[in-house]
Structure 1
């Protein structure tokens, strides 16, 4: 197979993919030596691969100096094609290695605070409606998810802070809130949970004296478990604390402000497979049917 990109063309074979991977690694780390270490090959091998790639393309891709390796103008033009080539190859390998009964795949991601119950409900809904979709899921920080979506390594992601990149569709799924709750008769110590930069900005503007908490967390579920066992107060997601409020294990702090904490679905613009469209519909259905996400 020939991979064509305007004036560039590469054969699609094992070594050719390695050439593209080597090119991307050098571009990422900035030196031939570091690229060799990360690829677990010698610097001589890296140099030989670059020469072979430049010979095949008829273009110089890097300028080497004491500071490292810098892309030429042709190297910058080739970068996007190299990334597409490697991604297409990896996707093809993944697709061909799927079990016989699973001929479609979907790659979905969510930030840490959304895997339970939203990601769990989504996956369960897919599995309860079809058995021929292979699910690849990833839980990571927002920045990593955005990069993976941009690079076509994920099909859709769930985040609290959207990125309005022109190539993305941004769809608000749920309007959740962060509310101030406490353990009855044991409201201390103060717990501060880092729900992101936007929450901290609104929190500081509203309750500047409360930021110096006795305990600080960057993971809500951990903070909640500690508070339920030892007492305290803090801001938590409405749907997470709803049943604790109903059971009397927690109570709302009277007069405390509430903060909006919406959830967004992001996916790339353009043509999407029937499998992807179906999977997104399953997500919307899981939200509409689950008691966790009813407003």
Structure 2
């Protein structure tokens, strides 16, 4: 079977519809439809039920999802193993959200390099949909993110719990969003809790989907926003920002996602170092 067909199938599952899958694969919607049609003909069954809300898997589709994941991951792992750089015994690809690299995964890198100097590491930044797809396809060995999805063959483990605190460049600012407030999209759960805590908030003038971007704007132009305590700790100590302690604090769990059938020698060592560093990070800033 052409693994491109299986990869397209998994992308449709992740995106929820053919349009989203086409955007992620950088092909036309008709190409996605043709690939799925070819796959269904090859398997002799219908994999998706198409409706106005998108696509849902048929019972046969749910059965095939597990096999498709295994197929794609096996091929990707073979490419991964063959492509190990000269002078190294293995390679490891780690993907994470931008904010989780800062003062967390970036600190993990030297620990891993010291523990396994003969392992080549590839570091990637991405959002949850791309990270999950990379894990499913086997292009990413370990993913660190805020809102993972459950997928066959992957284990989701909470790595740490961020404390999102409201900080401002104005020490006298009110403990609530104001005209200079920058809203950071920390995910649907944060949105729900934020809306419940500030029911009279009419909406931000500026929204950012990356915390680092919002933080740089606040530091350069003034304002306020919710950020993980570990990311603003140095700015608080330097007096560039003030923690508005009367404002509510929101919890934001961060998760590590990895294959169930992981290579214990390689991936297990990497996860162990991450868990230690995450525990230290929580203790340092909480």
State the TM-score, normalized to the length of structure 1.
0.70
Aligned counterpart for 2:275 among listed residues 278, 284, 288: 284
Say whether residues 1:231 and 2:222 are aligned partners: yes
- How many Å separate the matches in 2 of 1:294 and 1:205? 26
User: Aligned residue for 2:3?
Assistant: 21
- Give the match for residue 241 of structure 1: 232
* Deviation of 1:190 (Å): 1.8
- Counterparts of 2:152 and 2:76 in 1: how far apart (Å)? 25
CA RMSD of aligned residues (A): 3.8
Deviation per residue, 1:121-174 (Å, 9 max, x gap) = 222211122211121332211122223323333222111224345644332222
The separation in 1 between residues aligned to 2:161 and 2:76, in whole angstroms, is 36
CA contact (8 A) 2:262 2:268 kept: no
How many Å apart are 1:223 and its aligned residue? 1.2
Evaluate the alpha carbon distance shift between residue 92 and residue 196 of structure 1 in structure 2; reply closer, same or farther with a 3 A threshold. Answer: same
Q: Offset at 1:107? A: 2.3
Matched with 1:275 is 266
For residues 255 and 85 of structure 2, the distance between their equivalents in structure 1, rounded to whole angstroms, comes to 32
* Corresponding residue SS for 2:226: strand
2:116 to 130, 135, 138: 130
| Contact 1:60-1:75 within 8 A present in 2 as well | no
2:76 alignment partner, one of 90, 96, 102: 90
* Partner Cα distance (1:177, 1:161) in 2: 15
**Residue 142 of structure 2 is aligned with which of 138, 146, 156?**
156
**TM-score scaled by length of structure 2:** 0.72
- Preserved CA contact (<8 Å) 2:96 2:143: yes
Superposition deviation, residue 241 in structure 1: 0.8
Distance in 2, matches of 1:265 and 1:248, equals 33
Other-structure match for 2:210: 219
Tell me how far apart the structure 2 counterparts of residues 26 and 288 of structure 1 sit (CA, whole Å): 38
Distance in 2 between residues matched to 1:75 and 1:161, nearest whole Å: 24
Deviation at 1:197, TM superposition (A): 0.8
SS in 1 for 2:101: helix
The answer on whether the counterparts of 1:192 and 1:216 sit within 8 Å (CA) in structure 2 is: yes
* Structure whose CA Rg is larger: 1
- Greater RCO (CA < 8 Å, at least 6 residues apart): 2
Which is worse superposed, 100-109 or 174-183?
A: 100-109
- Bigger CA drift: 140-149 or 232-241? 140-149
User: Do the aligned residues in 2 keep the contact of 1:20 with 1:85 (CA within 8 Å)?
Assistant: no
Unaligned runs of 5+ in 2: 13-17, 48-58, 174-178
- The answer to whether the 8 A contact 1:95-1:105 is kept is yes
Q: Partners in 2 of 1:143 and 1:91 — Cα distance? A: 20
In structure 2, the CA distance between the partners of 1:26 and 1:183, relative to structure 1 (3 Å rule), is closer
SS at match of 1:95: helix
2:6–2:68 contact (8 Å) kept in structure 1:
yes
- From 195, 198, 201, the equivalent of 1:210 is 201
SS at match of 1:175: strand
